[in-house]
Amino acid sequence: MHADTPGEFDIIARYFTRHSARRDVLLGVGDDAALLQVPADRRLVAAMDTLVEGVHFPAATAADHIGYRALAVNLSDLAAMGAEPSWALLSLSLPNAEPAWLQGFADGFFGLAARHGVELVGGDTVRGPLVVTVQVLGVVESNGILKRSGAQPGDLVYVSGIPGEAAAGLNVIQTGKAGSDAAMQLRQRFERPEPRVELGRALRTLATAAMDVSDGLLTDLGKLCRASGCEATLNLDLLPASLLMRTLYDAEATERFALAGGDDYELLFTLAPERVAEFEHVVSPLALCTCIGKIARGGQAPGTVTCLRNGQTVAVNAPGFDHFARQ
């Protein structure tokens, strides 16, 4: 190995130990485990997501995007519960310890962590293939949390942001459609998804159900419906238009990205019709949210999502992302 390559303990000391800003961190990085103070009137929320090189991001992805993304996808899970993120643990399996790579990764990770007041309190650094696992801990008030299972027949279905742009961004990277402003902005949507933490906090006592869109809108809406014992209609005419996607792709590809593309990390949620006015007032300033469908009573097959175009049922083939799906 290169003589400047830092050892495991140097890596932790040099790149992953920061001055503690949170008073609820009684013991952070450096001991066998972290010691944390959860407020007595709060409940603990825990999520963990893994990114594998070549599976969740292309092999050439810059280190700062990987660091950012590994935290962002976890913050998105907490956002989907309406929780406030507090602490993170990081497991980094690395083929080698390249200082520039480590610095980039740390910059991406800590930049996003600082914006959300999240502190890194522990983890592990090992030699192996490039695999990043982040675990985020947060807290939520005891009078309610957002679940997937709360949707009721008659509720309206909303999504934040513009579904599909992250998947289009990945396609831009994979096919080398570089150069244009639209390509750059779509790429950014894949590389720097914005976890909707503030939106999730605002929805906590407003929405009946929520989840984040990570495996594709159609698949994820199906999961929400299954968890709620309901069905849903999804009105394709209501999908928010993406000028960025339409600059580079035709209408068919754009719709496929919107329905089947993963990686958006936007929130999908349901709202009782009588809460819409309050919702518009409170939530609209935080993020673009679009009503795209409606929850219906679950029939023979809860979880079914029926797509409509011009008021007519249409068949859509848009399987979501499943790592172990039969090919």
Compose the 78-117 pattern: x for residues touching a second copy by CB under 8 A, - for all others: x-xx-x---x-xxx-xx-xx--------------------
Q: Measured from the CB of residue 24, what is the shortest distance to a second copy in angstroms?
A: 9
Q: Are 79 and 212 in contact (CB under 8 A)?
A: yes
Q: Are 259 and 207 in contact (CB under 8 A)?
A: no
Contacts (CB under 8 A) with a second copy, residues 258-297 = none
Q: Are 290 and 281 in contact (CB under 8 A)?
A: no
Q: Measured from the CB of residue 118, what is the shortest distance to a second copy in angstroms?
A: 13
Q: Which of 27, 49, 39, 18 is nearest to 84 (CA)?
A: 39
Member of 15, 16, 29, 45 binding a second copy (CB under 8 A): 45
Number of CB atoms found within 10 A of residue 250's CB: 10
Compose the 227-256 pattern: x for residues touching a second copy by CB under 8 A, - for all others: x-----------------------------
Identity of the residue, 93 or 152, whose beta carbon is nearer to a second copy in the bound complex:
93
Q: Is 34 in the site for a second copy (CB under 8 A)?
A: yes
Contacts (CB under 8 A) with a second copy, residues 114-143 = 121-129, 131, 133, 135, 137-138, 140
Side-chain-facing half-sphere of 180: CA atoms under 13 Å: 13
Member of 30, 58, 117, 273 binding a second copy (CB under 8 A): 30
Question: What are the b/e assignments for 120-129, b being 16+ CB within 10 Å?
Answer: bbbbebeeee
Number of residues that bind a second copy (CB under 8 A): 75
- Strands 84-94, 119-127: pairing is parallel
Q: Measured from the CB of residue 69, what is the shortest distance to a second copy in angstroms?
A: 14
Member of 44, 238, 241, 314 binding a second copy (CB under 8 A): 44
Q: Measured from the CB of residue 45, what is the shortest distance to a second copy in angstroms?
A: 5
* Long-range contacts formed by 242-246: CB under 8 A, 24+ apart: 242/162, 242/164, 242/165, 242/168, 243/182, 244/162, 244/165, 244/168, 244/182, 244/185, 244/186, 244/189, 245/162, 245/164, 245/165, 245/168, 245/186
Identity of the residue, 1 or 21, whose beta carbon is nearer to a second copy in the bound complex:
1
Member of 15, 29, 56, 225 binding a second copy (CB under 8 A): 56
Identity of the residue, 28 or 108, whose beta carbon is nearer to a second copy in the bound complex:
28
Identity of the residue, 167 or 244, whose beta carbon is nearer to a second copy in the bound complex:
167
Contacts (CB under 8 A) with a second copy, residues 140-199 = 140, 145, 147-149
Rounded to an integer, what distance in angstroms lies between the CA atom of residue 185 and that of residue 227?
Answer: 34
| DSSP structure class, residue 211 | E
Number of CB atoms found within 10 A of residue 103's CB: 15
Q: How far is CA 158 from CA 102, 137, 254, 301, 316, in A?
A: 38, 26, 19, 22, 19
Q: Measured from the CB of residue 256, what is the shortest distance to a second copy in angstroms?
A: 21
Identity of the residue, 167 or 211, whose beta carbon is nearer to a second copy in the bound complex:
211
Compose the 61-80 pattern: x for residues touching a second copy by CB under 8 A, - for all others: ---------------xxx-x
